[in-house]
Amino acid sequence: MEFRDLKKQYQVLKTKIDAGIADVLASARFISGPQVKELEQRLADYVGVKHCITCANGTDAITLGLMAWNIGEGDAIFVPDFTFFSSGECPAYEGATPIYVDVERESFNMDPDKLEAAIRKLLAEGKYVPKAVISVDLFGRPADYSRIRAICDKYGLYLMEDAAQGFGGSIDGHMACSFGDISTTSFFPAKPLGCYGDGGAIFTDNDEWAALIRSLTVHGKNGNDKYDNIRIGMNSRLDTLQAAILLPKLDAFEKYEVADVNAVAAKYNRLLENSCLELPIIPEGVVSSWAQYTVILPEGVDRVALQTKMKEAGIPTMVYYAKPMHLQGAFSGTDSAAADCPVTEYLCGHVLSLPIHPYMEGSDIELVCRKLLEYINV
């Protein structure tokens, strides 16, 4: 059994993906070919925002957004403590100080009450200027944007939605990647919408930031002239090959993959309800894109031993994430390390992610649940 079965997806979409790759090879327009523009338009339409700018990966997407806001030394950026490293790495890379905020046990996402408390504490201390919130849609579930947006407005902070895991999710029909002033995603192969290498995208309704980010992705070019460089930028573009691979994958994603992966999650929920596990909760009106199906194990379960037994039964499992951001070695000795995040610390010790993808067979879901409950109860 695969944790996320990309081979199976390729078998289903092979004819279209192979044809798309062949077109790019024949045209030899490997950089900024017409497929890139087409994809950007399709992604912007799908999300319902004015601008989509593709780039080299989801980490660059966050960095490019922060560059557009001129984030740097002395600025504080609020980031959930329970996330992939990039969410906090990018503000630190720009010289700013990530301030880690604890998450809610029920949603795995940034706790709005704790966000507001962290902002007030920072303002009282006066050492840094609060500038932005990077909110993460962890495991595919969009964060609580009505509350986070209200807090950002109250304190005059920019809101960035890191939807690397959230693309395809929604709240009351509003799509993930539309909730931030700038939103970002990743097309890393195992993300909800993945390409066959690295890729990413930035979304915004703001014309000025869109133009600025477009320039920053190509060495700070002046308009369309990449040899007239008016600012310090990066080289961060999505390859034409990856755009050609993503176009048919986006078709499948829209037509059935998001629905199918939700059916897999629903079956997990049914088979695991009334067990000793805490299951992921998706509120009414919210759609998850199920980047992960993550359960919380009860006290006293030896997670390492459990994973070993599952592996012996042919079932891969993963721990996302084993270490809170504020305890990562890269932040030791900095003000980012001084976070108070007991929920994150608890989750890091107790979460377990199970195999999930749109092509997962019902019999495999049943096997995972049977083995998991059997091994937990011994």
Ligand X SMILES: *Cc1c(COP(=O)(O)O)cnc(C)c1O
> Is 47 strand, coil or helix?
helix
Return the number of the residue (168 or 369) whose C-beta is nearest ligand X: 168
Please pick, from the candidates 59, 204, 215, 353, the single residue that binds ligand X as defined by CB under 6 A.
59
Q: Taking CB under 6 A as the rule, does residue 294 contact ligand X?
A: no
The residue from 67, 79, 136, 171 that contacts ligand X (CB under 6 A) is 136
Applying CB under 6 A, does 84 fall inside the site for ligand X? yes
Q: Residue 154, SS3?
A: helix
How far apart are the C-alpha atoms of 76 and 129, rounded to whole Å? 6
The residue sitting closest to ligand X, measured at its beta carbon, is: 58
Q: How far is the CB of 365 from ligand X (least distance, A)?
A: 23
Under rule CB under 6 A, residue 344 binds ligand X: no
Q: 99 by DSSP, 3-state: which?
A: strand
In the chain, count H helices and then E strands: 12, 14
Q: Specify the stretch interacting with ligand X by CB under 6 A; choose among 68-76, 80-88, 167-175, 268-276.
A: 80-88
Site residue total, ligand X (CB under 6 A): 15
- Assess 292 for contact with ligand X (CB under 6 A): no
Of the two residues 94 and 372, which places its CB atom closer to ligand X in the complex? Answer: 94
Q: What angle do CA 200, 259, 354 make, to 5 degrees?
A: 75
Cβ–Cβ under 8 Å, residues 336 and 327:
no
Nearer to ligand X, 96 or 369 (CB): 96
Residue from 86, 107, 242, 317 binding ligand X (CB under 6 A): 86
How many Cα atoms occupy the beta-carbon half-sphere of 135 within 13 Å?
34
- Sign of the dihedral through C-alpha 161, 166, 171, 176: positive
In angstroms, what is the minimal distance from the CB of 89 to ligand X? 9
Q: Where are the beta strands (DSSP E) in 215-255?
A: 221-222, 225-229
Pick from 63, 97, 165, 204 the residue near ligand X by CB under 6 A.
Answer: 165
d(Cα 42, Cα 205) in Å, to the nearest integer?
15
Instruction: Annotate 254-266 with three-state secondary structure.
Output: HHHHHHHHHHHHH
* Least distance in angstroms from the C-beta of 58 to ligand X: 3
Closest distance to ligand X from the beta carbon of 312 (Å):
28
Stretch that binds ligand X, among 13-21, 46-54, 81-89, 300-308 (CB under 6 A): 81-89
> Which of the ranges 30-38, 70-78, 162-170, 227-235 carries the binding residues for ligand X, by CB under 6 A?
162-170
Q: Say whether residue 91 binds ligand X (CB under 6 A).
A: no
Report helix, strand or coil for 205.
coil
Q: How far is the CB of 78 from ligand X (least distance, A)?
A: 15
Cβ–Cβ < 8 Å for 252, 192: no
Asked whether 188 and 164 are in contact (CB, 8 A), the reply is: yes
Angle at alpha carbon of residue 70, lines to 66 and 76, rounded to 5°: 70
DSSP assigned state of 238: -
Using the contact rule CB under 6 A, the part of the chain among 26-34, 159-167, 171-179, 332-340 near ligand X is 159-167
In 3D space, the residue among 214, 180, 181, 167 whose CA is nearest the CA of residue 58 turns out to be 167
Under the binding rule (CB under 6 A), the answer on residue 81 touching ligand X is: no
Q: How far apart are CA 183 and CA 103, in angstroms?
A: 20
Stretch that binds ligand X, among 161-169, 215-223, 236-244, 322-330 (CB under 6 A): 161-169
58 or 306: CB nearest ligand X: 58
Would you give the binding string for ligand X spanning residues 167-206, x where CB under 6 A is met?
-------------------x-x---------x-x------
Angle at 275 between CA 378 and CA 318, to 5 degrees: 75
Nearer to ligand X, 201 or 264 (CB): 201
Tell which one of 35, 54, 63, 83 touches ligand X (CB under 6 A): 83
The candidate with the shortest Cα–Cα distance to 254, out of 77, 75, 45, is 45
Using CB under 6 A, list all residues that contact ligand X.
57-59, 83-84, 86-87, 136, 162, 164-165, 186, 188, 198, 200
